[in-house]
Structure 1
């Protein structure tokens, strides 16, 4: 099997449960959404250059970095043809910790059946993204405690919607729950005040470390 890889690099995790830890990133071509704030639109275009890599080549690259945390991202990695075979291949190595960053619009059902299944960091797209109508609510039923649901808010209305979804589907009992700001679009202090006002226990506010450390537009970090 061959996979369309647009970028591969080692950096720190900028967000999620392993924020601040080293990870090796494999970024795949293409996405089925068009979020207003997307910071990887370049990776979603059909004319973006990519490298075809086999399962073995991806695995050898990962092992060569000597970094155990692996993040498969995009775009939307779960749209890659035969991606389940790649995940199964990588998951055989118990020394690796596999994380899938997914946008919430692709069913997780088949992927959660994988032996030694990966962790999922799944977005729920809020109204300002323009993509909320694409969200698969059924995905919540496949989450486990080691997984993460992430809400990226671009406005206080977004944050109110996030709270409604968190409460309605009891997400704090299913997975780790994170909220983060669209970079430069919402007052982070206001987000903290909202969390205080609504007693949002067990919800983590997170900033994108890679956009603080490096230029927000920089690739490969």
Structure 2
């Protein structure tokens, strides 16, 4: 039972409900989508350099950091069924485990597991080119600890995000964030849109790590 790990590091959470807090990141190789704005495309191909580690090795490394917030990310971490074992091991050791998932993979199995992680799930908007692959049934599995994130790069994206948020009553179910595609849309324009639509319960979120460090820097 081995998983391809392209990087692991300690930093702050750059986004989500625990933004600004220390976190351990484990990034797995591979993704089933190809978003136009992807900032981790280097990790997505099947031949990206990776170290193969067992769930126990990953959990042991996390424990040695002394940091309790853990983010499993990618690529798309849920392409690897072994992630469930990593989650169980980490949660048994008292970690808060968050899965960053792209919204295309059914969450049923993990949502119903004894060791349920926190989900930070994307909904891919039109500018991503990947909206057709979204698994909207996942919305019913989310709870008040989870997050749906809309990465928006245009007014069309914002209109679509507003439609999905209203249709599925997401603000009554989970955290909801709108983030700009870095360099493609002004955050002030998103705020203006939110104000015009009275988008109560929705938060604008900027990726903190891209303001603290150079935007393309890895390992942060």
TM-score normalised over the length of structure 1: 0.98
- How far apart are the structure 1 equivalents of 2:10 and 2:86? 19
Post-superposition Cα deviations, 1:139-179, rounded to whole Å, max 9, x if no partner, equal 00110110000000000110010000000010011111000
- Note if contact 1:152-1:179 (Cα within 8 Å) is conserved in structure 2: yes
- Note if contact 1:11-1:22 (Cα within 8 Å) is conserved in structure 2: yes
Shift of 1:114: 1.7
What is the CA RMSD across the aligned residues, in angstroms? 0.8
Shift of 1:207: 0.2
- How far apart are the structure 1 equivalents of 2:98 and 2:47? 27
TM-score normalised over the length of structure 2: 0.98
Gaps of 5+ in 1: none
Give runs of aligned pairs for residues 38-117 of structure 1, distance below 5 A. Answer: 38-93=38-93, 95-117=94-116
- Note if contact 2:6-2:28 (Cα within 8 Å) is conserved in structure 1: yes
The answer to whether residue 126 in structure 2 is matched with residue 158 in structure 1 is no
Structure 1 segments, 4+ long, off by >3 Å, are: none
- How far apart are the structure 2 equivalents of 1:82 and 1:151? 27
- Note if contact 1:105-1:135 (Cα within 8 Å) is conserved in structure 2: yes
User: How many pairs are equivalent?
Assistant: 220
- Note if contact 2:55-2:82 (Cα within 8 Å) is conserved in structure 1: no
Gaps of 5+ in 2: none
> In the alignment, which residue of structure 1 is the partner of 2:211?
212
Any idea what SS the aligned residue of 2:98 has? strand
